[in-house]
A and B are shown apart, each in its own frame.
Chain A
Amino acid sequence: MGTTFVLFVEDNDDLRQTFVELTTVVLERRCVGVGSYNELVALGDEVLACDAAILDINLGPDQPSGIDAYEWLRHQGYPGRIVFLTGHASTHPLVIEATRIGDAEIFPKPIDADQVQSVVEGVRR
């Protein structure tokens, strides 16, 4: 298992658990799964040590979005790679807002394990 870890912010419990297990078992990286923006903020500095942060753009109705999570991470001085994951169309307002962020990539769901690996290892496919 690697010494670095991946942060995964996703409001869907099943997907979050599966991703954490996939990253741990297949990619052999430590992974922290976070279900909401508030949970992320509560973890504080602990999450800032991650190498890559994968954020679901839509974290539920009337909830802070993945874009809020992105801004919080950058505001805290997190320098690592941030990737947005979304199941929404490119015309969705949140996705449009995310595309305006210069240093973050957007991956539409579903992505495969190889793409996850490329994100974790910092390799663009």
Chain B
Amino acid sequence: MTLASGMAVRHAWRGAFAAAALNAAGMSADYLLGRNIPAMPIYPYAASVLTGIALLVFLLIHRQRATVRLGSTVFLVNNVVIMMALWITSGYWASTGPAWTPFQANKLGVLAVAMLAPELGVGLAVIAGFAAIALAKFYFLDPEIQRGFPVGEPWLILIYALFAGVLLVYRVRGLAIEREMLRVQAEAAASEQLARTFLRLSDYANTPIQTIAFATKLLSTKNEVELARTAPATRSIVALPARTLCAKSRTAAYQNHVTR
């Protein structure tokens, strides 16, 4: 796994984990606030909270084998359960009269999705789901309750959804740029390491070559016969400095380029 893909997996896992934790905590709080509403059922809250806790445990168990797809799936399941619970409970909340601010949980939900969604597609789908559930629920409410809704409701959820969608796009793009930067940095570090290795190899090779150059000169000086025999070695060594300099300057230039 590369650094960039590892980062994407961590983002997905953390987003799903935070969403499940918010589900467990938020729906518990919502139940406590609404427990005195006449006939308010407990099972939608219980189902949502228990699902949130189960998903937290599931994520912890699969932490080492996590993938982006796993994070997105958990995130989607978590939010579908929340939507189902809100579909049921929002009717009871609406029956409390004009003191109720319509679909606050749905509005909070779309903003939370913008901050936590592991992937763009899943995030946009869940935002659309929260908005659709609120709008659909409105038309299932008693006409008397509908008439008691504040001005602009339930359509305000669409503005929240629009803002959440834009926030989500910017966040996902920012994360993608961050991951790309990480990938490029890792590539540059690997290239620099390679360039350093080449330079070090070249450096280590030069002292033995220098010894051979001097030894060849000594041999050819001491013995005329050796002069002819050592000629190819001498020619090769004479050609070395230019080649070595060329290779070194190219390696150094590459090193400068990748570290710039």
Residues of A within 8 A of B (CB): 12, 14-15, 18-19, 21-22, 25-26, 85, 87-92, 108-113
In the complex, residue of chain A having the shortest beta-carbon distance to the beta carbon of B205: A87
**In this assembly, does B77 line the interface, its C-beta being within 8 Å of a C-beta of chain A?**
no
In the complex, residue of chain A having the shortest beta-carbon distance to the beta carbon of B234: A112
B221 adjacent to A110 (CB under 8 Å): no
- 8 Å CB contact of B221 from A14, A19, A26: A26
- 8 Å CB contact of B206 from A14, A19, A109: A109
Query: Which of chain B's residues have a CB closer than 8 A to the CB of A110?
Result: 206, 209-210, 212-213, 237, 240-241
Complexed CA–CA distance, A108 and B240 (Å): 11
Instruction: Report the minimal beta-carbon distance from A71 to chain B, rounded to whole angstroms.
Output: 23
Would A113 and B217 be within 8 Å (CB), given that A89-B202, A89-B203 are in contact?
yes
Complexed CA–CA distance, A99 and B191 (Å): 27
B203 adjacent to A91 (CB under 8 Å): no
Pairs A–B under 8 Å by Cβ, sample size 28: A12-B207, A14-B208, A15-B208, A15-B210, A15-B214, A18-B218, A22-B217, A22-B218, A25-B221, A26-B218, A85-B210, A87-B203, A87-B206, A87-B207, A87-B210, A89-B203, A89-B251, A90-B252, A91-B255, A108-B244, A108-B245, A110-B206, A110-B210, A110-B213, A111-B213, A112-B213, A113-B213, A113-B214
Complexed CA–CA distance, A84 and B240 (Å): 19
* B 78-127 contacts with A by CB, 8 A: none
Complexed CA–CA distance, A75 and B211 (Å): 30
Query: Which of chain B's residues have a CB closer than 8 A to the CB of A22?
Result: 214, 217-218
Chain B binding surface SS class = helix
In the complex, residue of chain B having the shortest beta-carbon distance to the beta carbon of A56: B207
**In this assembly, does B175 line the interface, its C-beta being within 8 Å of a C-beta of chain A?**
no
In the complex, residue of chain A having the shortest beta-carbon distance to the beta carbon of B218: A22
Query: Which of chain B's residues have a CB closer than 8 A to the CB of A18?
Result: 211, 214-215, 218
* B 213-229 contacts with A by CB, 8 A: 213-215, 217-218, 221-222
B204 adjacent to A91 (CB under 8 Å): no
**In this assembly, does B128 line the interface, its C-beta being within 8 Å of a C-beta of chain A?**
no
**In this assembly, does B10 line the interface, its C-beta being within 8 Å of a C-beta of chain A?**
no
Instruction: Report the minimal beta-carbon distance from A22 to chain B, rounded to whole angstroms.
Output: 5
Query: Which of chain A's residues have a CB closer than 8 A to the CB of B252?
Result: 89-91
**In this assembly, does B137 line the interface, its C-beta being within 8 Å of a C-beta of chain A?**
no
Complexed CA–CA distance, A21 and B218 (Å): 8
- 8 Å CB contact of A112 from B237, B249, B251: B237
Complexed CA–CA distance, A112 and B239 (Å): 11
Complexed CA–CA distance, A111 and B206 (Å): 10
Query: Which of chain A's residues have a CB closer than 8 A to the CB of B204?
Result: 87
- 8 Å CB contact of B210 from A90, A91, A109: A109
Instruction: Report the minimal beta-carbon distance from A60 to chain B, rounded to whole angstroms.
Output: 11
* B 174-202 contacts with A by CB, 8 A: 199, 202
**In this assembly, does B14 line the interface, its C-beta being within 8 Å of a C-beta of chain A?**
no
In the complex, residue of chain B having the shortest beta-carbon distance to the beta carbon of A107: B241
Query: Which of chain B's residues have a CB closer than 8 A to the CB of A91?
Result: 199, 252, 255
In the complex, residue of chain B having the shortest beta-carbon distance to the beta carbon of A10: B207
In the complex, residue of chain B having the shortest beta-carbon distance to the beta carbon of A12: B207
Instruction: Report the minimal beta-carbon distance from A76 to chain B, rounded to whole angstroms.
Output: 27
Instruction: Report the minimal beta-carbon distance from B257 to chain A, rounded to whole angstroms.
Output: 13
Query: Which of chain A's residues have a CB closer than 8 A to the CB of B209?
Result: 109-110
B210 adjacent to A111 (CB under 8 Å): yes
Instruction: Report the minimal beta-carbon distance from B225 to chain A, rounded to whole angstroms.
Output: 17
Q: A91-B255, A92-B203 are in contact. List 11 more A-B contacts (CB 8 A).
A: A14-B208, A15-B207, A15-B211, A21-B218, A25-B222, A26-B218, A87-B210, A89-B248, A90-B248, A109-B207, A113-B213
